[in-house]
Amino acid sequence: MSRRLLSRRSLLATAAASALASVPLAAVASAQPRPDAPARLTLPAPTGPHPLGTVSSHLVDRSRVDPWQGTGSVRELMVQLWYPALTTHGRPTAPWMSPGTTAVFEREQGIPPGALLLPTTHAHLSAPVNRGRCGRPVVLYSPGLRSDRSLGTALIEELVSHGYVVVAIDHTYDADAVEFPGGRVETFAITGDIDDALVAKALAVRTADTRFVLDQLAALNTGRLAGAFDLSRVGMFGHSLGGATAAATIRADRRLRAGANLDGSLLAPVTAGTDRPFLLFGSDPGPGGEDPSWDQFWDSQHGWKRELALAGSTHISFTDLETLFPQAAPILGLTPEQVARAIGTLEPHRAIHAQRDYLRAFFDLHLRGVDHRLFQRPRYPQVRFVR
């Protein structure tokens, strides 16, 4: 892949790893925990009327040998289901990351033990589901390469608080860490040069993962969550390689009615587009100009399409690190310049507010038929209508 694609809107850029990797790790590793109890990092509260529930599910695709293991083991995934709850009374809040993935995250980023308390979510574990009248529209989420499902929590919670069910997918072995029931943790296991061929393989694996999850939605729509999903209204969004996964899956599977790509480069044949609605929402292009793969996609996309750019942002602005990194910076001894290099110059609240509003407006328009008119003319100074 070209250097410009790798540095700007890259399939390969990682959400979790790239944030701290974009500043000198020595600054992090040399930081000492404060003598008093560290403050807990927080995620922005969702704005919708619904309280949130969440459960995780271990899925096993016995029809596939895991392509990253080569040992004959079947493909295993973890997914997290987020949904509007009837009540959250007596239900504890869910952690942002599971204990096993937290340990890997801290180790990989060189964060001193005890220096940070990672956030809890606004969702409550196994809270009873609010099914709505006829089930709720479903949105799938796919994170970037070497990221896990937790990195999209701020966007996921916003959708759920406004009445969506969201299914967040961990792609085992291309995520930094995935924790399975019983505490087993599987870490990043892709070897070899990260080139177009490997990225194409990763994209094919992720597309198969996502289609398997779509197959499993009917089974998940039983028991505790029975009747919660309206499987006639399913969409998908993702960040980086997850955005490319959304574009690849909507081409491959007509069960997806709409898709959104948050700052992810594309590869052929995904650049050929689709006949269904698709949103491109990218970081500030900077002096490098437009991503050629987005130009190719735009020219061949026959369904509804829009392209937006978030001024003053970077690739990882479309993850939870947009809000968590500035909170962690003073604890870890990072300078404002290092923070700006990681997440850009746009104030985090404004960045998250715009992403949440436009993503929800997109799915409301195409899965609910509700038009908030956000795509008719610019309303936010931080959002540029590219085309």
pLDDT at 10: 40
Q: Quote the radius of gyration of the chain (alpha carbons, Å).
A: 19
pLDDT in tens, the chain (387 residues): 222 233 334 433 333 343 333 333 334 444 444 545 577 899 999 999 999 999 999 999 999 999 999 788 999 999 999 999 999 999 999 999 999 999 999 988 888 877 899 999 999 999 999 999 889 999 999 999 999 999 999 999 999 999 999 999 999 999 999 999 999 999 999 988 888 899 999 999 999 999 999 999 988 888 889 999 999 999 999 999 999 999 999 999 999 999 999 999 999 889 999 999 999 999 987 666 678 999 999 999 999 999 999 999 999 999 999 999 999 999 888 999 999 999 999 999 999 999 999 999 999 999 999 999 999 988 999 999 999
CA distance 152 to 258: 18
- End-to-end Cα separation, the chain, in angstroms: 25
How far is it, in rounded angstroms, from Cα 12 to Cα 194? 8
Tokens of 375: 């795509």
Cα–Cα dist 101/187, whole Å: 9
**Is residue 331 within 8 Å of residue 116, measured between CB atoms?**
yes
What pLDDT does 36 receive?
56
Instruction: Say what the pLDDT of residue 72 is.
Output: 81
Assess contact for 149 and 121: CB atoms under 8 A. no
CA 161, 166, 172, 176: dihedral to nearest 10 degrees? Answer: -20
CA distance 29 to 301: 46
Q: For residue 36, give every residue at least 6 positions away whose Cβ sits within 8 Å of its Cβ, in sequence order, or none.
A: none
Within 13 Å and on the Cβ side, how many CA atoms surround 186?
18
- Let me know if 297 is exposed, middle or buried by CB neighbors in 10 A (0-12, 13-18, 19+): buried
The pTM (predicted TM-score) of the whole model is 0.92
What does the pLDDT read at residue 93?
98
Count of other CB atoms within 10 angstroms of residue 178:
24
Ordered by where they begin, the domains of the chain are 3-385 (3.40.50.1820)
Give the dihedral of Cα atoms 341, 347, 349, 353; nearest 10 deg: -90
Q: What pLDDT is attached to residue 24?
A: 35
What is the tens place of the pLDDT at every residue in 98-108? 999 999 999 88
Question: What single-letter amino acid sits at 167?
Answer: V
Angstrom distances, CA of residue 239 to CA of 42, 259, 263: 21, 12, 6
Cis before residue 99, ω within 30 degrees of 0? no
Hey, is 129 helix, strand or coil?
Answer: strand
As a whole number of angstroms, the distance between CA 300 and CA 152 comes to 29
Contact at 8 Å (CB) between 122 and 154? no
Closest CA to 269 of 202, 194, 204, 174: 204
The HSE-up count of residue 314 (CA atoms within 13 Å, CB side) is: 24
Phi, psi at 96, each rounded to 5°: -65, -45
Beta bridge partners of 386: none
Furthest CA-CA distance within the chain: 59
Residue at 237: amino acid letter: F
Contact 163, 84 (CB under 8 A): yes
